[in-house]
Amino acid sequence: MRFIDEVGIEVRAGNGGAGCVSFRREKYIPKGGPDGGNGGRGGHVILVASTSKNTLQELYLRKHLYAKNGQPGRGSDRHGKNGVDIVIEVPVGTLVRDEAGGLLTDLDCAEAQYVLARGGQGGLGNVNFKSSTNRAPRYAQPGEAGEEGRRILELKVMADVGLVGLPNAGKSTLLSRISNARPKIADYPFTTLKPALGEVFMDDGDGFVVADIPGLIEGAHEGKGLGIQFLRHVERTKVLLHLVDAASLEADIDAQMHEVEMELKGYGDTVWNKPRMLVVNKMDALTSDMREEVKKQATRTELAVHFVSAVTGEGIPALLRAVSEQVETIRKVAA
């Protein structure tokens, strides 16, 4: 399944059904009173946030959402049927924008709902307009038009912690080590093609959600590699873990950090200003001399540093405790 995180759609709610003009006709009563019923409401187009969805793919394939019109009212004061609502499930974290990009809503928790287009009210039938001066009204209201327009849906996944780093740093390996997620892992760059989420459970009952995104390369914010678009999925996180590959021969730690930092900066302050920890991965692959060298290099940064191996688990418990503490602290401040 393709990972789609932005899609433009046309929505049209149903029109209200017209009110009815009708008069009672009974044998031997030449002029019965008005009995035209009301029209039904047009169908709404509604979005519901659901934890069982991870992508906007369904809407990408189905770019038009048109709900049915309400039925007209009928004689004998019969109400027209309402148009059936269209209810679409979208991932939690879906934002809805108007055509100009203005934010209409943020479906940031499960079960949150938003009416994308409201169905028109049905018109009142002539039974409603009877009065002492007009016993036989010959008019009824038309139905209201349903709302319509173009909407842009954008997914920004909800996670507490984001994993960033160059391709092959071991982000997906770390995610699979610490959480229930089972992302694809391989020894070539750009294994990860779409964000994945995993839940980490701590022994003390705390926990947090981690987002793994495709690797970043120099120029990503100008569209290189898989592009920067995936950074939107760490925009809502509280902490970033910046993974570097200690076993990589090509680049030292400073260079690996710098490359990714330029991309974080290029994306914008929402990501660049996030608290970040440096995670030096693949420590298992180093000789003791190399370890010393790597430790010397890595501690030059102002970031908190953790030396780990996503494969053997070395350093992981301490890393998780530090992350959990920071997430909890930020949660408390936000509460």
Ligand X SMILES: Nc1nc2c(ncn2[C@@H]2O[C@H](COP(=O)(O)OP(=O)(O)OP(=O)(O)O)[C@@H](O)[C@H]2O)c(=O)[nH]1
Q: Which residues would be at the binding site for Mg ion (CB under 5 A)?
A: 171-172, 191-192
Q: Of 71 and 173, which has the nearer Cβ to Mg ion? A: 173
Query: Is residue 328 a contact partner of residue 160, using CB atoms and an 8 Å limit?
Result: no
Q: Tell me the C-alpha to C-alpha distance, in Å, between residue 314 and each of 69, 106, 178, 244, 310.
A: 62, 39, 12, 15, 7
Query: Is residue 200 a contact partner of residue 174, using CB atoms and an 8 Å limit?
Result: no
Taking residue 108's Cβ as centre, other Cβ atoms within 10 Å add up to: 14
Question: What stretches of 167-249 show up as alpha helix (H) in DSSP?
Answer: 171-178
By CB under 6 A, tell whether 22 contacts ligand X. no
Q: Of 117 and 241, which has the nearer Cβ to ligand X? A: 241
Q: Give 327's DSSP letter.
A: H
Residues 147-166 that bind ligand X (CB under 6 A): 165
Report d(CA 34, CA 178) in Å as an integer. Answer: 71
By CB under 6 A, tell whether 173 contacts ligand X. yes
Q: Of 283 and 310, which has the nearer Cβ to Mg ion? A: 310
By CB under 6 A, tell whether 309 contacts ligand X. yes
Q: Of 126 and 176, which has the nearer Cβ to ligand X? A: 176
Q: Which stretch binds ligand X (CB under 6 A): 38-46, 108-116, 127-135, 179-187?
A: 179-187
- Map residues 188-207 to x or -, x wherever contact with ligand X holds by CB under 6 A: -xxxx---------------
Q: Tell me the C-alpha to C-alpha distance, in Å, between residue 325 and each of 16, 50, 274, 319.
A: 54, 28, 15, 10
By CB under 6 A, tell whether 316 contacts ligand X. no
The residues that touch ligand X, with contacts defined as CB under 6 A, are 165, 167-173, 185-187, 189-192, 214-215, 281-282, 284-285, 309-311
